[in-house]
Structure 1
């Protein structure tokens, strides 16, 4: 069992990331932790894993957690055995088998005589049988590093497993192994992910927001349906509040007009009846005070409704505003824009593909390039971009403008601030206020404009990139997306999906996210 009670975390800069988080996870629960980028999901996992200390609150857990992190840079100089904290046990077992049966070796091994067998089985299961325990982590691909830590689960056999975006770098085969593990493990699982197939393998969802944690029984699809019901209720509340605001303003106008008419009639009667000037002034002051009180009562009511409206509007997404907005009139669907005839590429005199590739890309295609890690997907993209020439075969390209969007959104210049970045794409002569309006449409308010690009989260970088492309407004014939959802939360994946579905040009995608590929209507694939 895992219990968090009123847990808060304070950044080193004294900003509170989250406060008073409370939830319970029972034994063998399989729970997703979802929420927008920056809300503190990874930090919360690190607190449970013991890597960070909370500012306040209480953490109760029956056993030590095993943590699969999202980033592995801190392990680059470690061997695989060191990264998994099994080097000493393996060395102790080896020495005991060689006859060096010391008290120290027996204490380190702690009767774990099957450690070597579990290690061998784990590497075999996760398709890592060709790796050596003394191999440095920095020699491995992103997918291999993830599989190493997933193999560690089989080796350590923990009761509680924490996973932070575990499918990010896995190919299709690796993801299938992960899904199978999640469905069949007897361990308690808490994971952060945007992979909807993975999230549907779980039986509970915790939604983390700035207001705390909300629990939903069921998998991610069930959670999505519940959120739709909640959002529909929000929309109804919004319409009701807007109607109430209109009525309140109308009531205020009518009441003030009526009060002013009464005051005017009273004044005329007083003048006719010859009331003394001092008494007239007193009566006028009373009338003004009465009108002022009426205004204050209505202003307070209108202010309250306006505050409620502002809060409701902030809870409702603005996906429909976040689109490329390109002029698509230059696209001629059906035209062959790229043709490859028996191409291949050699690294160190070895061809990357067993068989030469021949294919055509037609204007309007929505194409996915599939393949295992190391199958040459990036090489093929580089050839399509005409930054690399095949060592065998020929290519013909009629593509004039391509936009290449990688998972780090490196189209953006980290040296620039947000407004400067937007201005650098202004090749259509937009006025300053127009650029700022577009930034606001993509959820960058005035307080964000001087923020440096290198401080942005994955979702913020994606939204700024979309905004910059709308400012440029010169439609590319081809957009290439290379694992574009890896660093995005689900909300930002939906924003990206909506923008892509509005684009009418040719789309080439490298992704292992099947839900994303389905949602952008892929109609052709190249399998490497």
Structure 2
């Protein structure tokens, strides 16, 4: 069991990440922890893993969890055995087998004579062929590092497992193994992920937000359905408040017009009756005070409704606020943009693929590039963009415009501010306030405009990139996305999905996320490898 009770965590810079957090994960529960970027999901996992201490509150685990972090670069200078926290035990085993049967070695081994056999079994399950325990973690690919840490589950046999974005760097085969583990294990699980296929294998969803943690007793699809109902209710509240505000303003206007007519009529009567000037002034002042009081009452009511409406609108999901408004590609649908026959690339006489690849990309197509990690998917993108020339086969290309959005959003200049980056795409000479309106539409408020692009999260960079494309207005003929959902939270995955579905040009995507590919309407694929 895992327990968080009244947890507060304050950053070293004194900013509070969250306060008063309560969470119970019961034995054998398989739960997802979701929330927007910056909500503190990874920090919560680290608190439960014992890697961080709360500023206040109680953290309790019934046994020591095995924790697989999202970022693994800190292990680059370690051996695989060290990253798995078994180097001392392996050294003790080998020394004992060599005759050094010391009390220290026996204590380190702790009767775990099958440690090497479990390592072999775990590496075989996670298909870590050729990976050695004494190998440096820095020599492994991102997917291999993740699978090494996942292998630690079979090696250590914990009761509790904490996983932070475990599918991020895994290819299709790796994800299939992860899904199989999640379906068959009886471990207590808490998983941070944006992978919809993975999230639907879990039986509970914990949503972390500024209000704390809300529990949903079902998988992600159940959670999404409940949120959709709540969002529709919220939209109804917004519409009702908008009607109420219009009605209150109409009432205010009608009341003021009626009062002005009454005041004018009263003044005429007083003038006809020959009321003395001093009395006229007294009556006029009284009328003005009455009018001002009435205006104040109506203004207060209108202001109260407007404030409540503003608060409701702030609660709307980001996806309900954003529109891409891109012009369509100028190319007619079906035009052949790239035609490849038995193409291959490489260096010298070493070809990357065993057999040449045939593919055709037509205007308006939605295609996925698929293949195992290291199979040359990014190289194929460079071939399509003309950055590489084939060493074998024939490649014909038409003239077309394109934008390539890689995992690091390299099109964004890290030295610029958010507003400065947006201006780089302002080819239509929009005024400053127009640029800021568009930034607001993509959830960048006035507090963000002077923020350095270098300080943005992956989700923020993705939204800024989409905003820049919207500011440029003319859509590229081809949009190429390389693992676009890596490191995005669920809200930003949904924002990206909606934005892509508004795009009418040619789409080429590298992704291992089958749910995402289905949602954006991918119907064709180019398979590389072999």
Shorter chain as normaliser: what TM range? Answer: over 0.9
Question: Aligned residue for 1:31?
Answer: 31
Relative to structure 1, the CA distance from residue 163 to residue 348 in structure 2 (aligned partners, 3 Å threshold; closer, same or farther) is farther
For 1:185-216, what per-residue CA distance to the aligned partner results, in whole angstroms no more than 9, with x for missing partners? 11111111110000000011111112222111
- Give the CA deviation at 1:263: 5.0
User: Does 2:460 match 1:460?
Assistant: yes
CA offset digits 1:434-467 (Å, max 9, x no partner): 2222222212122211111010111110111011
Q: Which residue of 2 aligns with 1:514?
A: 514
Q: 1:79: which partner in 2?
A: 79
Equivalent pairs counted in the alignment come to 528
2-structure distance, mates of 1:193, 1:524: 26
- Gap regions ≥5 residues in structure 2: none
1:297 alignment counterpart: 297
Bigger mean CA deviation after superposition, 137-146 or 302-311: 302-311
Cα deviation for residue 301 of structure 1 reads 2.0
Aligned equivalent of 1:397? 397
Name 1:94's counterpart in structure 2. 94
User: Which residue of structure 2 aligns with residue 441 of structure 1?
Assistant: 441
Which deviations, in whole Å up to 9, do the C-alpha atoms of 1:481-509 show, x marking residues without a partner? 11000021111112111221222221111
Partner Cα distance (2:357, 2:265) in 1: 92
SS of residue in 2 equivalent to 1:122: helix
Shift of the 103–349 alpha-carbon distance from structure 1 to 2, 3 Å rule, reads farther
Matched, 1:52 2:47: no
C-alpha contact 2:405 2:482 (8 A) present in aligned 1: yes
**Partner of residue 190, structure 1:** 190
Residue of structure 2 equivalent to 1:128: 128
1:258 and 1:328, CA in 2 relative to 1: closer, same or farther beyond 3 A?
closer
Whether the 8 Å contact between 1:399 and 1:477 is mirrored in structure 2 is: no
State the partner residue of 2:61.
61
- Deviation of 1:276 (Å): 6.7
The answer to whether the 8 A contact 2:3-2:61 is kept is: yes
Aligned with 1:447: secondary structure?
coil
Is the 2:321–2:441 Cα contact (8 Å) retained in structure 1? yes
Q: Are 2:151 and 1:145 equivalent residues in the alignment?
A: no
Q: Deviations over 1:354-380 (max 9, x none)?
A: 211122212222111111111111121
Residue 223 of structure 2: aligned partner: 223
Shift of 1:299: 2.2
Could you say if the C-alpha distance between residues 259 and 474 of structure 1 is closer, same or farther in structure 2, counting changes exceeding 3 Å? closer
- Distance in 1 of aligned mates of 2:212 and 2:442: 25
For normalisation by structure 1, the TM-score amounts to 0.95
Give, in angstroms, the shift of residue 327 of structure 1. 2.7
Deviation at 1:523, TM superposition (A): 1.6
Match of 1:411 in 2: 411
1:491 pairs with 2:481: no
Q: CA deviation at 1:282?
A: 5.1
Gap change, CA 1:58 and 1:301, over 3 Å in 2? farther
What secondary structure, in the 3-state scheme, does the structure 2 residue paired with 1:12 have? coil
Structure 2: distance between partners of 1:329 and 1:119: 53
Alpha-carbon distance in 1 for matches of 2:508, 2:517:
11
Conservation of the 8 A alpha-carbon contact between 1:323 and 1:466: no
CA deviations 1:15-56 (Å, max 9, x no partner) are 222222212111111111111112211122112212222222
Q: 1:255 to 1:335 in 2, by over 3 A?
A: closer
Pairing 1:26-425 to 2, within 5 Å after superposition: 26-261=26-261, 283-319=283-319, 322-328=322-328, 330-347=330-347, 349-425=349-425
String of CA shifts for 1:112-131, please: whole Å, max 9, x gaps: 22221111111110001311
Residue 36 of structure 2 aligns to a residue in which SS?
coil
Deviation string for 1:75-99 (max 9, x for gaps)?
1101111111110011111111222
**Contact 2:319/2:491 (8 A) holds in 1:** no
> What RMSD in Å do the two structures reach over aligned CA positions?
2.1
Q: 2-side partners of 1:258 and 1:151: how far apart?
A: 79
Q: Which moved more, 1:55-64 or 1:516-525?
A: 55-64
Q: Residue 339 and residue 177 in structure 1: after superposition, are their counterparts in 2 closer, same or farther (change >3 A)?
A: same
- 3-state SS of paired residue (1:179): helix
Q: Mark the CA change 1:347 to 1:329 in structure 2 (over 3 Å): closer, same or farther.
A: closer
Point out where structure 1 has 5 or more consecutive residues left out of the alignment: none
Contact 2:369 2:510 in 1 (8 A): yes
Q: Is the 8 A contact 1:368 1:525 kept in 2?
A: yes
Shift, 1:270, TM fit: 6.2
Q: Please, which moves more after superposition, 462-471 or 434-443?
A: 434-443
Output the CA distance in 2 between the equivalents of 1:250 and 1:323: 31
Q: Does 1:2 align with 2:2?
A: yes
Question: Distance between the aligned counterparts of 2:282 and 2:115, measured in 1?
Answer: 96
- Tell me the residue number matched to 2:505: 505
Partner deviation per Cα, 1:120-162 (whole Å, 9 max, x = no partner): 1111100013111011111000000100110011111112211
The DSSP-based 3-state class of the residue aligned with 1:326 is: coil
Change (3 A) 1:169 1:395: same
Q: Distance in 1 between matches of 2:247 and 2:159?
A: 58
Measured in 2, the distance between the counterparts of 1:501 and 1:253 equals: 43
Answer yes or no: is the 8 Å Cα contact 1:399–1:478 preserved in 2. Answer: no
Q: Distance in 2 between matches of 1:443 and 1:22?
A: 29
Query: For the Cα contact (< 8 Å) 2:48–2:60, is it kept in 1?
Result: no
Q: How far is 1:283 from its partner?
A: 5.0
Alpha-carbon offset, residue 289 of structure 1: 3.4
Residues of 2 paired with 1:321 and 1:264: CA distance? 46
Cα distance change, pair 57–283 in 1 and its aligned pair in 2 (3 A): farther
Give the match's secondary structure for 1:119: helix
Partner in structure 1 of residue 11 of structure 2: 11
1:269–1:6 distance in 2 versus 1, CA, 3 Å: farther
Distance in 2, Cα, partners of 1:212 & 1:296: 38
Q: Which residue of 2 aligns with 1:525?
A: 525
